[in-house]
Amino acid sequence: MLSDIIKPNSFAFSYMPISQAQLNFDSQHIWHPYTNLQNPAPVFGVESANGVYLNLSSGERVIDGMASWWSAIHGYNHPALNQAVKSQLDKMSHVMFGGLTHQPAIELCQKLIEMTDPALQCVFLADSGSVSVEVALKMAIQYWYSQSKEKKSKFLTVKNGYHGDTFGAMSVCDPENGMHAMFASVLPQHIFVEAPNCLNDTDWKQEYIGEFNTSIENNHSEIAAVILEPLVQGAGGMRFYCGEYLRQVRKLCDEYNVLLILDEIATGFGRTGSLFAYEEAKVVPDILCLGKALTGGYMSLAATLTSHKVADTISAYKGGNLMHGPTFMANPLACSVAVASLNLLLDSDWKTIIANIEKQLLIELMPCKALDSVADVRVKGAIGVIELTTAVDMDKVQSRFIELGVWLRPFGKLIYIMPPYIIKPEELSKLTDAMILVAKEN
């Protein structure tokens, strides 16, 4: 019963271990991502975290190969990030951003503008990756609305994409193989083409862009923007594709007067080997979405960047207001830790670190491509993927990984890692060993 969990004065902060009664309460009352409460998936209590390790309430200490869904790039309990939060907390934890501003937000926006392409000069600070996508979609629609081109309100994208769980973001996720098919009848209907299949620029064939070319040519009068995850499609299947595809997309967007939105929520801040994936592809988006690693995994924060051309066009129309304003946008705590996280990244030899992780992943994972249970192995930057021939049994596999001393969160046929950048070679090897063993057992 609830009274067994909540006692008088139990809301006082404490470091008491998670009890079995609390875990039972969790399974009966608390939804976790993509789960149901009639047949709840097993969850593992975390007591604390440090470096690349999670300390579980059951006593295990496991290496986190997920970086808390790709965000904790500096690992856990980092003294510089802890101090940024503590210092800001003594000043103010939050203040509304309507009509007010503060130094952490200004510093963060200055840093984001310095880090990204010179064309991207205007920043909207959102409170999650999904919201940053919502803002990007609104920017694109308002941009054309401000030019009396209200018909340009659709988006062109590719299948196997994932951009978030809110309604606007869901509408540009894969409509068939994604996680939101049940909402299809109430979502705005956009234009989808097959996902890119070109892995290397050297293997490029013009036919790879054929369907996209036809779609934008036939529908450009009603397309506000193209939205893509550059080089890596994340939650839609951990699929990689070549930079030439993006260059062709940029060229067609320019030719047919369509904006280009790049969703770098997963790929931004070094994950693919360049600071941003668009740099490797040698393209510049009109609108850029960032999140996840922005705060080093400490707090929820995201950003949508755009050019003065887009911002000024929106602003010139009548009232000129961008129609979005989350209560917690530009939260000072989140902005402070984001500044500290970006400083940590830029002050490190991140490019060499990512290159070394990539090299080790290639050496250790590629041999398992010969296994009968393995369909493919893919590595890019600090991302390693084993694609199996059959889907994993999530409940069974999750517990197996705990036994092996690692925390991984497979989905479908995919066993993958996106570890913190601070991971040591021997810790990375423990992750890859576990991946290969589970692949053999599947």
Write out the catalytic residue numbers: 34, 162, 263, 292
For tokens 């192995």, name the residue. 377
Q: 10 Å Cβ neighbour count for 19?
A: 13
Is residue 380 within 8 A of residue 417, CB to CB? The reply is no
Q: Count the residues in the chain.
A: 442
Contacts of residue 107, defined as CB under 8 A and 6 or more positions apart, other chains included, come to 335, 339
CB < 8 Å & 24+ apart, contacts of 393-399: 394/41, 395/41, 395/42, 397/438, 397/442, 398/41, 398/42, 398/44, 399/42
* 4, 25, 189, 396 from 21: Cα distances, Å: 8, 6, 45, 23
Contacts 24+ apart (CB under 8 A), 306-309: 306/120, 306/122, 306/124, 306/136, 306/139, 307/119, 307/120, 307/121, 307/122, 308/121, 308/122
